[in-house]
Amino acid sequence: MSCIKKYSLFLAGMLIISVIGCKPKNLGTAVSGDAAAKSFVAPGKFDEYYNFVSGGFSGQMSVYGLPSGRLLKVVPIFSVNPENGYGYSEETKPMLNTSHGFVPWDDQHHLDLSQTDGAIDGRWIFANANNTPRVARVDLTTFHTAEILELPNSAGNHSSPFITENTEYVVAGTRFSVPPDDKNGDVPINTYKQNFKGTISFISVDKTNGNMDIAFQLQCPAVNFDLSHAGKGVSSGWFFFSCYNTEQANTLLEVNASKRDKDFIMAVNWKQAAELIKAGKGRKQSVKYASNRYDEATHSATSTIKTEVTVMDVKDFPGLVYFIPCPKSPHGCDVNPTGEYIVGSGKLAALIPVFSFAKIQQAIADKAFEGEYEGIPVIKYDAALYGEVKKPGLGPLHTEFDDKGNAYTTMFVSSEVVKWNLKELKVLDRVPTYYSPGHLMIPGGDSKKPTGKYLVAYNKITKDRYLPTGPELAQSAQLFDISGDKMQLILDYPTIGEPHYAQAVEASVIRDKSVKFFKIESNNHPYASKGEGATKVVREGNKIHVYMTAIRSHLTPDNIEGIRLGDEVYFHVTNIEQDWDVPHGFAIKGATTGELLIMPGETATLKWIPDAVGIFPFYCTDFCSALHQEMSGYARVSAPNSLQPLSFSTGSNMPASDSIPAK
Amino acid sequence: MKKLIVCSIILAAGIILSCNNSDYASKDENKAIKTETAKEEAAPSYDPNRGEGKFKTVDVGNTLNTTMAGAGEKVYSVKCSGCHKLTDEKLVGPGWSGVTRRHKPEWIMNFITNTDAMLDKDPKAQAQLELCLVRMPNQNLADEDARGLLEFMRKNDGIR
């Protein structure tokens, strides 16, 4: 046996060499023989890691298993999801409310798992909305979006939702500087330098229930804030943001924001900012933003419009903020596990600068500044620099870390992942990706406790990698084994939307906390029907409330008469099952919304405005038992002036056999 | 040269695959053997009067505990009434009339708290499934809920 294995390994090795030898340009065919075994998770077995992947322009978050690449779930966050009624049901509509009204879509870029002492604790995952600036919190016991908070004074919420090492704060830095919300924004666009500001929000997170609030905002010079990461360990209490467009261009940024040799990493002493706020500093600014929270007891969300935020102008508080020059439009801004090194990735630079937190502190103490930028001290580049990784590749974007002192950086332009040593700043290995990777992810790779087994690169371009599907192709993820000296590609699979940042954690951190169903006794929904005896149909003016239950395999009531054209009908459906994996669905003909998927013990509401007189069937959409096809009913809609009384029943509306119903 | 490469790819792939296959096959076989022996061991000890679950004996006495029966009726209305009538009429599941005369108290308690396991194993439960064709859902009853339901079933069967 072992002899055969050795022989086959030898042969496989030979093969790789000969294949590479023949076709050096097409390394995609050179996946080594054990790749399938390394990513194979046998049917019925679980993956090692939960992998949370941003959905980009889908607005949602996908959940994959690693190393299999199995798609486990898509969690709707910022976009409506007719598949389960998110954003359509009366209970979830408030989640997508904003100061602009109901927004059914957004662009979801980055995710960050909550941490305790710099290690992933698996309680929540935070997600940003780029377009209409918001931050969401997803509860990892239910995989429901629990909260969405809008951000005033912001536009293009890109450097978000990165967290501090005990989840004290989630940050949100604006990518597009704009005039503050309480100023007259009707100004010429080319007055950017005078009238525009860049705002960083610090969002507090309640330790027990996770509730988010804007603790304070920092008003900063108008630049584009791109990405960020918190300090940790030795740099605890600081936050680092990459900035581009320090040219302050307002048009053709491609050229005009690429002029300066160096832009900035902005270092923020957030502990000091929190103390200043505690001491009553900052000014109260009148704004308007939505705070939307979902309550698992009522299975309902509420949206509250808030009207005030505390803002500190950073130039008024010396010592709060410093700029560090960073070559050529830095994108990624990543802090190593000890917190000592801050890696800036100048996307147009041919090197990777690594800054030292100790040197930054020394430079501040020595006032080693090269000048000021809009009233903020700019530290001398060499005074903050630990060193540069020379010739790493083209277009460095993002860096993550393993548990052995190595860093891994994606190269967008040269389509590769480059592994380098943090201490010596030497490139150790490089491996091609297909093609143009944006973010990359190592489980725990931005925490104090990274792992060293897998790395996933998220690619923007996939042409010629999969069967073609017309002009629009999926983006992709590529999984690498990084446990050895050489990175090894072991799996390649398409993703939903456009994946940007991702997170992953050992399955055990989340698996056992997963909610299986909601206890019917704890259901506090005002329209819940706890048992079939509690079902009814009630008219309130032109509103009809149907209190309905679903259990395998009937809906109660399933015959409803006396609805009149002009009525608004609310189907409040309670799933009274109390077992795992028995959702019921609800849909009615002609509804111009979506369907409902109702989990065991949950109540959800579909609003239906009938548009014609007649009979409208409704049914369960989620195959629930051998008698699922029987799980249906009828609603009768009469003319507006009809005298047909309101009635409802299940199992008792049958005429006597062979008789003609009396009118 | 090219042919040789293709040949060795097939050869190598074949060997690797067969190695892996046999690995998994042997694991699966082990598993299959294990479950079978488990079944064999379980079969003779299965008590069709008691069923399978945490309740060994349930002493109900001769009279009704009205408090427990009242609590049971509340649970019935939320979790059971959707499928079970109190008469002998079958709805989704069988009507409850006479259920306490057909089954031992411990069988009922085990069946309503350990539903899936009993549906897989118990001859009477399986015969009922063939009639109803809907597996009774596990309604996740607490022990006292189950006991209350049993008392409510007894009340329904005329115990005073």
Considering only alpha carbons, which residue of chain A is nearest residue B25? Answer: A42
Interface test mutation site (partner A, options B15, B17, B141, max chain A beta carbons within 10 A): B15
Overall average pLDDT of the A262-282 stretch = 97
| Chain B interface includes A12 (CB < 8 A) | yes
Q: Which residues does chain B have within 8 Å of residue A620's beta carbon, measured at their own beta carbons? A: none
Q: Which residues does chain A have within 8 Å of residue B82's beta carbon, measured at their own beta carbons? A: 531-532, 549, 551, 554, 556, 576
pLDDT in tens, A104-161: 999 999 999 999 999 999 999 999 999 999 999 999 999 999 999 999 999 999 999 9
Which residues in B have their CB inside 8 Å of a CB on A?
2, 5, 8-9, 11-13, 15-16, 19-20, 24, 77-79, 81-83, 91-92, 133-135, 137-141
CA A42, distance to chain mean position in Å, is 29
Overall average pLDDT of the A621-629 stretch = 92
Interface test mutation site (partner B, options A517, A522, A551, max chain B beta carbons within 10 A): A551
Given the DSSP bridges, would you call strands A212-220 and A300-313 parallel, antiparallel or unpaired?
parallel
CA angle A469, A475, A477 (to 5 degrees): 125
Angle between helices B66-75 and B143-156 (to 10 degrees): 100
| Chain B interface includes A532 (CB < 8 A) | yes
pLDDT in tens, A541-557: 999 999 999 999 899 99
In 10 A of CB A53, how many CB atoms? 28
Q: How many Å apart are CA A458 and CA A151, to the nearest integer?
A: 28
* Contacts of residue A253, Cβ cutoff 8 Å, sequence gap at least 6: A224, A245
Overall average pLDDT of the A282-301 stretch = 98
Q: How many Å apart are CA A38 and CA A480, to the nearest integer?
A: 10
Q: Predicted confidence band at B67 (pLDDT cuts at 50, 70, 90)?
A: very high
Q: What is the pLDDT of residue B35?
A: 41
> What amino acid occupies position A420?
W
Q: Predicted confidence band at B134 (pLDDT cuts at 50, 70, 90)?
A: confident
B79·A576 Cβ contact <8 A: yes
Candidate from A18, A37, A551 with C-beta closest to B83: A551
B92·A576 Cβ contact <8 A: no
pLDDT at A17 over 70: no
Q: Predicted confidence band at B44 (pLDDT cuts at 50, 70, 90)?
A: low
Is-contact B98 B47, C-beta < 8 A? no
- Coil, strand or helix at A335: strand
Considering only alpha carbons, which residue of chain A is nearest residue B80? Answer: A531
pLDDT at B3 over 50: no
Candidate from B11, B82, B133 with C-beta closest to A551: B82
| Chain B interface includes A553 (CB < 8 A) | yes
Which residue ranges make up each domain of chain B? Answer: 66-156
**Between these two residues, B46 and A17, which has the higher pLDDT value?**
B46
Minimal C-alpha gap between A273 and chain B (Å): 50
Q: Predicted confidence band at A416 (pLDDT cuts at 50, 70, 90)?
A: very high
Domains in chain A with CATH codes: 524-649 (2.60.40.420)
For tokens 């976009």, what's the residue? A79
Which of A17-21, A70-74, A321-325, A562-566 is predicted with the least confidence, judged by mean pLDDT? A17-21
B82·A651 Cβ contact <8 A: no
**Between these two residues, A35 and A342, which has the higher pLDDT value?**
A342
Interface test mutation site (partner B, options A532, A535, A582, A599, max chain B beta carbons within 10 A): A532
Overall average pLDDT of the A328-353 stretch = 94
Q: What is the pLDDT of residue A651?
A: 86
Which of A137-151, A493-507, A588-602, B30-44 is predicted with the least confidence, judged by mean pLDDT? B30-44
Candidate from A4, A576, A625 with C-beta closest to B134: A625
A627·B133 Cβ contact <8 A: yes
Which of A138-142, A389-393, B12-16 is predicted with the least confidence, judged by mean pLDDT? B12-16
Q: What is the pLDDT of residue A9?
A: 47
Is-contact A148 A98, C-beta < 8 A? no
| Chain B interface includes A582 (CB < 8 A) | yes
Residues in chain B: 160
Considering only alpha carbons, which residue of chain A is nearest residue B84? Answer: A532
> Residues of chain A with pLDDT > 70: what percent?
94
B15·A11 Cβ contact <8 A: yes
Q: What is the pLDDT of residue B24?
A: 39
A11·B137 Cβ contact <8 A: no
> Residues of chain A with pLDDT > 90: what percent?
91
Q: Which residues does chain B have within 8 Å of residue A11's beta carbon, measured at their own beta carbons? A: 8, 11-12, 15
pLDDT at B26 over 50: no
Q: Predicted confidence band at A348 (pLDDT cuts at 50, 70, 90)?
A: confident
B16·A553 Cβ contact <8 A: no
Q: What is the pLDDT of residue A346?
A: 85
| Chain B interface includes A11 (CB < 8 A) | yes
Candidate from A12, A579, A582 with C-beta closest to B12: A12
| A and B: number of Cβ contacts within 8 A | 88
Considering only alpha carbons, which residue of chain B is nearest residue A651? Answer: B91
Candidate from A11, A521, A556 with C-beta closest to B12: A11
Which of A19-33, A242-256, B9-23, B63-77 is predicted with the least confidence, judged by mean pLDDT? B9-23
Q: What is the pLDDT of residue A660?
A: 54
- Coil, strand or helix at A55: coil
Q: Which of A489, A521, A262 is nearest to A380 (CA)?
A: A262
| Chain B interface includes A579 (CB < 8 A) | yes
Candidate from B8, B79, B138 with C-beta closest to A15: B8
Q: String of b and e for A412-444 (b: at least 16 CB within 10 Å)?
A: bebbbbbbbebeebebebbbbbbbbbbbbbbbb
CA A392, distance to chain mean position in Å, is 30
pLDDT in tens, A426-481: 999 999 999 999 999 999 999 999 999 999 999 999 999 999 999 999 999 999 99
A626·B83 Cβ contact <8 A: no
Q: For A600, how many CA atoms within 13 A lie in the half-sphere containing its CB?
A: 18
Would you list the DSSP string of A595-623? -EEE-TT-EEEEEE---SSEEEEEE--S-
Q: Which two tokens stand for residue A105?
A: 């879509």
Minimal C-alpha gap between B62 and chain A (Å): 30
For tokens 């077992």, what's the residue? A579
pLDDT at B41 over 90: no
Q: What is the pLDDT of residue A314?
A: 98
Overall average pLDDT of the B55-76 stretch = 96
Candidate from B2, B19, B78 with C-beta closest to A531: B78
* Contacts of residue B83, Cβ cutoff 8 Å, sequence gap at least 6: A551, A552, B91, B92, B93, B134, B136
Overall average pLDDT of the A303-326 stretch = 98
Q: Predicted confidence band at A655 (pLDDT cuts at 50, 70, 90)?
A: confident
Q: How many Å apart are CA B117 and CA B107, to the nearest integer?
A: 12
Q: What value of ipTM does the predicted structure carry?
A: 0.75
Q: What is the pLDDT of residue B43?
A: 54
Candidate from A520, A579, A625 with C-beta closest to B78: A520
pLDDT in tens, A573-607: 999 999 999 999 999 999 999 999 999 999 999 99
For tokens 């029987």, what's the residue? A630
| pTM, to two decimals | 0.89
B8·A11 Cβ contact <8 A: yes
Q: How many Å apart are CA A471 and CA A478, to the nearest integer?
A: 22
pLDDT at A10 over 90: no
The backbone region for A506, taken as left when phi is positive above 0, alpha when psi lies in -120 to 50, beta otherwise, is beta
A8·B19 Cβ contact <8 A: yes
Q: Predicted confidence band at B27 (pLDDT cuts at 50, 70, 90)?
A: very low
Q: What is the pLDDT of residue B53?
A: 95
A521·B11 Cβ contact <8 A: no
Q: What is the pLDDT of residue A33?
A: 77
pLDDT in tens, A392-406: 999 999 999 999 999
A576·B15 Cβ contact <8 A: no
| Chain B interface includes A551 (CB < 8 A) | yes
Q: Which residues does chain A have within 8 Å of residue B19's beta carbon, measured at their own beta carbons? A: 1, 4-5, 8
Q: Which of A450, A442, A323 is nearest to A376 (CA)?
A: A323
* Contacts of residue A129, Cβ cutoff 8 Å, sequence gap at least 6: A59, A77, A78, A106, A107, A108, A135, A136, A148, A157
B92·A627 Cβ contact <8 A: yes
The CA distances from residue B20 to A274, A493, B27, in Å, are 58, 23, 11
Overall average pLDDT of the A37-66 stretch = 97
First to last CA, chain B: 92
| Chain B interface includes A552 (CB < 8 A) | yes
B11·A11 Cβ contact <8 A: yes
* Contacts of residue A444, Cβ cutoff 8 Å, sequence gap at least 6: A119, A120, A450, A451, A504, A505
B16·A531 Cβ contact <8 A: no
Q: What is the pLDDT of residue A25?
A: 44
Q: Which two tokens stand for residue A114?
A: 């909550």
Q: What is the pLDDT of residue A653?
A: 80
pLDDT at A18 over 60: no
Q: Is the dihedral of CA B110, B114, B120, B121 positive or negative?
A: negative
Interface test mutation site (partner B, options A31, A625, A631, max chain B beta carbons within 10 A): A625
Q: What is the pLDDT of residue A654?
A: 81
pLDDT at B34 over 90: no
B66-156 adopts what CATH topology? Cytochrome Bc1 Complex; Chain D, domain 2 (1.10.760)
> Residues of chain B with pLDDT > 90: what percent?
67
| Chain B interface includes A554 (CB < 8 A) | yes
Q: What is the pLDDT of residue A30?
A: 53
Q: What is the pLDDT of residue A659?
A: 55
